[in-house]
Amino acid sequence: MAKTKTKFICQNCGYETYKWLGKCPSCNEWNSFAEEIYEKRKGIKKDLRDISVENLIDVKIDQEDRIKTSIEEMDRVLGGGVVKGSLILVGGDPGIGKSTLLIQIANNLSLRKLKVLYISGEESVKQIKIRAERLDLKSNKLYILSETNLDIIKGTIEKISPDILIIDSIQTVYNPDITSAPGSVSQVREGTHILMNIAKRKNIATFIVGHVTKDGSIAGPRVLEHMVDTVLYFEGEAYHSYRILRAIKNRFGSTNEIGMFEMRDVGLVEVENPSEVLISERPKNTSGTIVVPTLEGTRPMLVELQSLVSPTMFGMPRRAAMGIDYNRVTLMIAVLEKKIGYNMENYDVYANIVGGLKTKEPAIDLGIISSIASSYRDLPINSKLTVMGEVGLTGEVRRVSFIEKRIREAEKLGFNIAIIPKANMKDLNKIDGINIIGVNNVLETLDIVLEG
C-alpha cells in the first residue's frame, strides 16, 4: 500500500517543508504555502539489459530534425526551426498574444502536411473555431481538443500520434492521481514531467503555454524552466501594438535572438525591419533624442533613445528609466557631473527607449550620455548622427563588439555620421557613405555631438 502524507509547498518558488510557515525561507514570500497530499510509491526497476548506449561520433543528424514554422521571426528565435521531440515553454502577460501566435504556428505547420494537435484548457472548441475564423486559418490537419484531464490528454495523444502538440495552458492541466488543485506546484511539475516523457518517447515537438506572475516570471516552480528545452518570453506593452519574442533558454540555439511582431486584426504579423519601425516617428530638431545601434543576438537594430532633463520642484531630484537599466542611467549622470562639470543635483532626469523595447547592452552608454547632455543644454543633435560605445567611470569610451554590423545598419537607414570608440577604428573596414569618427572619452564625444 502506498503511504499517504501531507507537505506544504510554496506556490511561488516550489520550496517544500513538512510544516506550515508564514514566510518562505527561499523566496521570502508571505502566506505562499499550500498543503498538498502526496503518496510514496515504490519505483519500478528497469532491466539493465535493456539499456543501450551510443557513441557520440556515430549519431547522425538530419536537416529534417528541424521543422520550419513559416514564420521567420519565430524560426530565428528557435535557432532555425522547431526541433523534433523538443519541449518549448512560452510565457507572457495575459492578452499579449501567446495563444494567437501558437494557433498561427499550428495552422502553418498543418498546411505543410504535419499533424497538429491543439489542446486548450481555457477555451471551448467553438471559441477556438471563432478565433481561427477571425485569423482566417483554414487547414484540414489541425485537430483541436478542449480538455484539462491529463489522462484523457495522454490517451488522445496516443490515439492521434501528432507531429506537433500544443498545450494551452499547463496551469489548467491536472493529474487526477494528485489531490492538489490545478495550477499548484505539484500539478504543474507532474504535468510537465509527463508531457516531457511523451515528447521524447514519441519524438513530438511540444509547445506548452505558461502563465506569468505579477513580477513577470513563469508561474509555478523554477524546476519547470529547468525541465523544458526552450523558454520563450513574449514581451510588449499593453498600449503598444509591437510584441517581442525573446529566448531566455535554448538548448538548440542562441539565447540572444529576438523576434518582433505587430498585433493586427488578422493576428500577429512579422516586422521585417525593426530599425525602420522604431525610428520612423523620431522628431526633428528636438533636443534630448538620439538614435543608437544596439545588437540583439545577431540582429542589429536602431533604437531611439530620449532623455528629458528638467528643474526639480523638490529637494530630491528624481531619476527614472524605461527600457534601460536604471543603474546605468545614474552612473552616466555621475560621469557627466564629475568629468564634464554639469550641475545636475537640481534637475530631474528621465530616460526612455521609444517603442517599448528593453535593452541592457553597455554599447548604448554613449547614447545615454549624449541624449542627457543634449536635453540639459537644450541643443538638438544632428538627425543623421549616431553614436555607440561603452562608457567607463573615468569617462573613457570603450570598444564594443560587432562594430561594423552596427555601422552598416545605420548607413542603410540614411545616417552619415557615426561616432565610435577609437579602439574599434583599427579593426574596421572602410564603409562608403558614412563618416566614421573615433573618440577616446566623453568630452570628445560631446564636443562633436553638441557642436557638430
431 annotated as ligand-binding:
no
* Chain center to CA of 439: 33
**Under 8 Å between Cβ of 395 and 441:** yes
Q: Distance between CA 196 and CA 229 in Å, rounded?
A: 9
Q: What backbone phi and psi angles, to 5 degrees, belong to 118?
A: -110, 115
CA distance 356 to 350: 15
Contacts of 77 (CB under 8 A, 6+ apart): 232, 245, 246, 247, 250, 253, 257, 258, 259
Spatial neighbors of 183 by CB under 8 A, at least 6 apart, are 171, 172, 219, 220
Which residues lie across from 321 on neighbouring strands?
351
Torsion from C-alpha of 279, 247, 80, 413, nearest 10 degrees: 10
Residue 115's Cβ-count burial label (10 Å; 0-12, 13-18, 19+) is: middle
Amino acid (one-letter) located at 377 = R
- The annotation status of 241 as a binding-site residue, yes or no, is no
Would the annotation count 421 as a binding residue? no
User: Is 253 annotated among the ligand-binding residues?
Assistant: no
Q: Strand 3-10 vs strand 33-40: parallel, antiparallel, or unpaired?
A: antiparallel
Please indicate if the annotation marks 99 as binding a ligand: yes
Establish whether 452 is an annotated binding residue.
Answer: no
Question: Was 433 annotated as part of a binding site?
Answer: no
Judge whether 95 is annotated as a binding position.
Answer: yes
Which residues participate in the annotated binding site for ATP? Answer: 92-99
Which residues participate in the annotated binding site? Answer: 92-99
